[in-house]
Amino acid sequence: MAVSTKRKRSDQTHDRSKRAPSGAAVLREDVTASLRRALFEEWARTGYDALSLERVANRAGVGKAALYRRWSSKSEFAADSLRTIALSVTPVPDTGSLEDDIRTLLRAVLRLLRSPVVRAILPDLHAHSGRNGELAPVQAELASTRRKRAEQVIDRAVGRGELSGSVDRELCLDLLAAPLYWRLVVVSGACGRARLERLVSATLAALRATV
């Protein structure tokens, strides 16, 4: 009985040691999401250089302390939020054909670029990074990640025999989404269903010509 009691007390002590310290702050996911949303809304409104963390916290309905418990600086906040969003956009599922892969990818990019917030932030991010700003490393990282994802489309097409193994991969990656970005972000044009289908056909033909 004595041994059993000692073991029970030891187990209870071990369990308590694994618990969070009393009074430790618990970071609520809904607050984190609200802060990220407020960051992007303020960024789109003011640009990164004029972005105020105090206004971000006010827009999210929390104090600045809640923000600084999660991120130590504006650049860390922005970089972490960009990485988080990037993981959830522009999927590249295997549809079984290059044409449908292109269509799926362009539809995902179109949904993303139809957001006024995204259309405002992306040029500002590129301009800031071009001036060797503090977000240049994360912008380069995100660009590399997007291209690696898109390269799966090229790899699958080569594997199916739909593209030659000698295609210019870098050029293919440039062609996959750049025309849609140019139309929606640079010239502020529209892209309806018919135009998207024409773009799918044109992109497919262009990829096959990059040998």
Residues 60, 104, single domain; the answer is: no
Is pLDDT of 13 > 80?
no
State whether 94 and 136 are in the same domain.
yes
Q: Has residue 183 been placed in a domain? A: yes
pTM of the model: 0.79
Regarding whether 179 and 103 lie in a shared domain, the answer is: yes
Average pLDDT over residues 25-53: 94
Structural domain containing residue 51: 27-73
**High-pLDDT (> 90) share of the chain, %:** 73
pLDDT at 131: 85
Is pLDDT larger for residue 135 or for residue 18? 135
* Amino acid 23: pLDDT: 45
58 plus 100 within the same structural domain: no
Query: Which of 11-25, 147-161, 188-202 has the weakest average pLDDT?
Result: 11-25
Looking at the predicted structure, is the pLDDT value of residue 15 above 60?
Answer: no
> Are both 202 and 100 inside the same structural domain?
yes
Residue 43 sits in the same domain as residue 101? no
In a domain, 151, yes or no: yes
Distance CA 156, CA 24 (A): 48
Give me the mean pLDDT over the 82-107 stretch. 87
Q: Which band of pLDDT confidence, cut at 50, 70 and 90, is reported for residue 18?
A: very low
The enclosing domain of 34 has a CATH number of 1.10.10.60
Q: Which is more confidently placed, 36 or 27?
A: 36
What is the reported pLDDT for 1?
A: 47
How many C-beta neighbours within 10 Å does residue 153 have? 22
Does residue 167 share a domain with residue 95?
A: yes
User: Stretch 24-49: mean pLDDT, rounded?
Assistant: 92
Give the whole-angstrom CA distance, residue 75 versus residue 72: 9
Residue 61 has pLDDT above 70, yes or no: yes
Q: How far is the C-alpha of 181 from the C-alpha of 43, rounded, in Å?
A: 20
CATH number at residue 103: 1.10.357.10
The 3-class SS string of the chain reads CHHHHHHHHHHHHHHHHHCCCCCCCCCCHHHHHHHHHHHHHHHHHHCCCCCCHHHHHHHHCCCHHHHHCCCCCHHHHHHHHHHHHHCCCCCCCCCCCHHHHHHHHHHHHHHHHCCHHHHHHHHHHHHHHHCCCCCHHHHHHHHHHHHHHHHHHHHHHHHHCCCCCCCCHHHHHHHHHHHHHHHHHHCCCCCCHHHHHHHHHHHHHHHHCCC
Average of per-residue pLDDT values in the chain? 88
pLDDT tens per residue across span 151-177: 999 999 999 999 999 999 999 999 999
Domain total for the chain? 2
Q: Within 13 A of 10's CA, how many CA atoms are on the CB side? A: 6
Q: Is residue 42 part of a domain?
A: yes
Share of the chain above pLDDT 70, in %: 86
Cβ proximity of 203 and 106 under 8 Å: yes
With 80 as the cut, is the pLDDT of residue 58 above it? yes
Q: Does the structure show a pLDDT above 50 at 14?
A: no
pLDDT of residue 25: 60
The Cα-based distances of 65 to 23, 54, 179 in angstroms read 16, 10, 43
